[in-house]
Chains A and B, each alone.
Chain A
Amino acid sequence: MKGLFENKKLLADLCVILALLLLAGGLALALRLGREAGGQAVVRVDGRVTERHSLAENGVYPLNGGSNILVIENGEAWLSEADCPDHLCVKMGKIRYNGQTITCLPNRLTVTVEGGESNGVDFVVGG
């Protein structure tokens, strides 16, 4: 490995890498402390809200003309089916906290957990 880094720059490199890792850790911690269970799953297509479903009621909802299937159970929401080739949105798993989002890029569709009554403020990062 010697000579791989130009030596005078090695320290600067390590500082940059360490700083980025610390930033990632700090952000993760802030988000974890600030999270709270949300009240509803808000569905957006092309950035416009098309549907809202309470997380308190279990249900299965076809979205966007059936391109994706939204399932809500025990306060969690996830997409069980999608007609896109990569199925990334299905693999993204279950969401339950305010601000968490499932994204389906091919169908330009997002599902976001938001607070029960509040409109406007989507998410607050706690200290």
Chain B
Amino acid sequence: MKAKRVTVMAMCIALALILSYVESQIPSPGIPGVKLGLANLVVVFALYRLGWKEAAGISLLRVFLVSLLFGHAASLAYSASGAALSLVGMILLKKWDRLSCVAVSVIGGVLHNAGQILMAWALMGANVVWYLPVLLLSGTVAGVAIGVVSAILVKRIKL
């Protein structure tokens, strides 16, 4: 069973990396942080099918590897703070057990943006208040899309 778990986690990380790469090829609309968050699919799936420790491991390893492979030096701090905040929020909401994984994914998406905004504020003193509405909106819409697909995956794929 242990070997299976390790293998599944490795596959999840590989899949998350591929999804991050695919997403990096989608042209940005010009506002930092507005993106689909495809890799969050894997994290939400792992959270529901593997457990919170596995989801955390996959998410943080993904962030580290992605910034090594496709990112620049500054991107690690932003991605890591977004991913960490999003993870903590989703893990707590799942434990709370009042929302399905669609809303959990939505809040995860919004928190991911919030984490990045907080880091930008902390590092650069940037006036970030202008980005809040658009990031809230885009995080919510992307979170719904990712959440619905995650819900299907969680339902269909039994490990």
Binding site for B on A (CB under 8 A): 3-6, 9-10, 12-13, 16-17, 20-21, 23-25, 27-28, 31, 44, 46-47, 84-86, 88, 91-93, 99-101, 103, 105-106, 108, 110, 112, 122-123, 125
B residues bordering A, Cβ < 8 Å?
28-32, 72-75, 78, 98-100, 102-103, 106-107, 110, 120, 123-130, 132-134, 136-137, 139-140, 144, 148, 151-152, 155
Q: Which residues of A contact B99 (CB under 8 A)?
A: 9, 12-13, 16
Check A110/B133 contact, CB under 8 A, given A21-B140, A86-B28. no
Contact A123–B129 (Cβ < 8 Å): yes
Question: Would you call the interface of chain B mostly helix, strand, loop, or mixed?
Answer: helix
Do A31 and B129 touch across chains, with their CB atoms under 8 A apart?
yes
A4 vs B136: C-alpha distance when bound (angstroms): 24
A21 to B29, CA, bound (A): 20
Pair B136/A92 contact, Cβ less than 8 Å: no
Of A10, A47, A103, A125, which contacts B129 at CB under 8 A? Answer: A125
